[in-house]
Amino acid sequence: MTAATSAADRPAEGHGPAAGVRWDLGDLYAGPDDPELEADLERSLALAREFAARYRGRVAGLGAPELARAVDELEALSEPLARAQSFAGLLFAADTSDPRHGALLQRVQERGSEVRGELVFFELEWLAVPEERAAALLAEPALARRRHLLSAWRRYRDHVLGEGEERILEETANTGARAFSRLFDETLAAMRFSLEGEGRREELSEEEVLALLYEPDRELRRAAADALTRGLEGESRLLGFVFNTLVLDKAIRDRFRRYPHPMRERNLANEISDATVETLLAACESRFPLVARYYRLKGRLLGVEPLFDYDRYAPVVPVSATRSFEEARRIVLEAYRDFSPRLAEIAERFFDRNWIDAELRPGKRGGAFSASTVPSAHPYVLLNYTGNLRDVMTLAHELGHGVHQYLARDRGLFEQDTPLTTAETASVFGEMLVFRKLLREVEDPATRLGLVCGKIEDAFATVFRQVAMTRFEQALHRARREEGELPLGRIHGLWMEANRAMFGDAVQLRDTYGLWWMYIPHFVHSPFYCYAYAFGELLVLALLRRYDEEGEAFVPRYLELLAAGGSDSPPSLVAKLGLDLEDPGFWQGGLGILAGMVDEAEALAAEGGLVPAV
């Protein structure tokens, strides 16, 4: 194993059931002081200037073969910078408390702005090509491999500014949105939440306190929820200012770029129409009564009335002890292998080659993600593994991302990543493979009920909760634009309104729950990301139905979908599997499957004599 950093640069010792499981970033650079990193930063700027000297003012006159070569050159010269950016971002996520990591991240971001400033002319000149000329070029065989990419760039024709303005926006992002995003990450990673009760007091990280919301002990869950609330309240002034500033920053940029509403930029990036997104959101909202119906069942199963916010994830049957990371590895790889040995083979590399960072550690960023990095390397996965079943599912989820990204590397830097709308496909599919494996292995109705209820809650969090969060974001951005800087109480109210619409009268949300929007990173890093989770979950349910219908014949077609990366639009890619995202009724199919899962939970509960038949 190649050491990714010197002893002085290594993060603090980890703990928890995945202690010792940390990634080796040596496949990117030997460490933050690796001379090759600085060489890549210098090389990227030099190559960008050479490229600009050769192509500036010429793009409109390029023939198809020349344009294809230019895009190839642009992609190749972008990779050294992308490698440095990936390394700096991963190093910072692993330990946000080390000032050197933040300084490196800032250095790389500033160099990235310099490089993009040199190259922005290319996209602007391409977008200025008249439609008729562009269409003729894109129809030529020489541009077949770049047709989707160049067409996708042209979606932004109405929203770009002049080169000078674009350079200003890029440079100032380092002291604006990117700086506040970094401040958010450092603040959350440094926070400790005081768990109090029965004569004890513990200082927990965000991940540790959130994990306690899944414990069977109700008093412990309530204490964990109160600890989270107290911690957020202590940083509420800072976090509220961060959110207000970022929402205003987006409003200013949207105005400059002539976006008609706050979600348009995200929808364009996701290659999906406003109408399709609204159809998805409305379809999910129409099924909010299903959420209330399930939680009323859960209240009866737990013997709790009323059900409070801290009861939402309580297990409905006793759960086994903490699962070791090795056990999680076994479960996930076996589920993947049952579906596709190729899928399992790739996933196993993440364990064997130290591409995963899973231990709990001071200063480490919360949550979980998979970073695709660059095609000449491989993805890396970050987790905060606490050992409950949900973390096993999170491992399956992030490995799904990782396998997807690994398979798509051949598409090159510009098209290896998919829009968010299809980015969740393999991750949610991986979760469902694990769930199905676990369900196959149990016959006891109570145990099956526990698994089904756990999956329902995961699916509801992926679909309905994400829709509620999207509605919150819409309301937040609208209110900020209409009312100016929002007091914390106003934001709390918007959050509660969006969540109460989902739970109805089945879950009583305490007033303190109003603060819980503060720790959601997607609101900070990727505004309006959340609906992509609902999109992905319902798409995966449709894919699973295809798999059940077609059997083994489906597997190679699914792997081809993953390997396609972002080389075509989401509707076009999934159309090859017989799915029509433009069909308004498409979403109802997946929502119907979720309703069927609630039916099954009610039947299992009645069969086991746990609640009266309904």
Q: How far is the CA of 300 from the CAs of 111, 304, 306, in angstroms? A: 58, 7, 10
3-class state of residue 508 by DSSP: strand
What's the start-to-end Cα distance of the chain, in Å?
Answer: 57
pLDDT reported for residue 11: 63
Unique residue bearing structure tokens 């900020």: 480
Mean pLDDT of all residues belonging to the chain: 93
Residue 156 has pLDDT above 90, yes or no: yes
List, for residues 215-225, the tens digit of each pLDDT value.
Answer: 999 999 999 99
Centroid of chain to Cα 302: 32
- DSSP annotation of 15: B
Among 2-11, 16-25, 133-142, 567-576, the least confident range? 2-11
Specify whether the CB–CB gap between 530 and 469 falls below 8 A. Answer: yes
Residue 507 has pLDDT above 70, yes or no: yes
Per-residue tokens: 3:
């050491």
- DSSP annotation of 308: B
Count of Cβ atoms closer than 10 Å to residue 464 Cβ:
24
Return d(Cα 432, Cα 316) in angstroms, integer. Answer: 20
pLDDT grade for 303, boundaries at 50, 70 and 90: very high
pLDDT grade for 6, boundaries at 50, 70 and 90: very low
The average pLDDT across 435-455 equals: 89
Domains of the chain (ranges; CATH) run: 7-175 (1.20.140.70)
Return d(Cα 261, Cα 580) in angstroms, integer. Answer: 26
pLDDT reported for residue 531: 96
* Interior/surface letters 51-61, b for 16+ CB within 10 angstroms, e for the rest: bbeebeeebee
pLDDT reported for residue 320: 61
List, for residues 261-270, the tens digit of each pLDDT value.
Answer: 999 999 999 9
Whole-structure pTM value: 0.89
List, for residues 395-419, the tens digit of each pLDDT value.
Answer: 999 999 999 999 999 999 999 999 9
3-class state of residue 385 by DSSP: coil
- DSSP annotation of 512: G
pLDDT reported for residue 389: 86
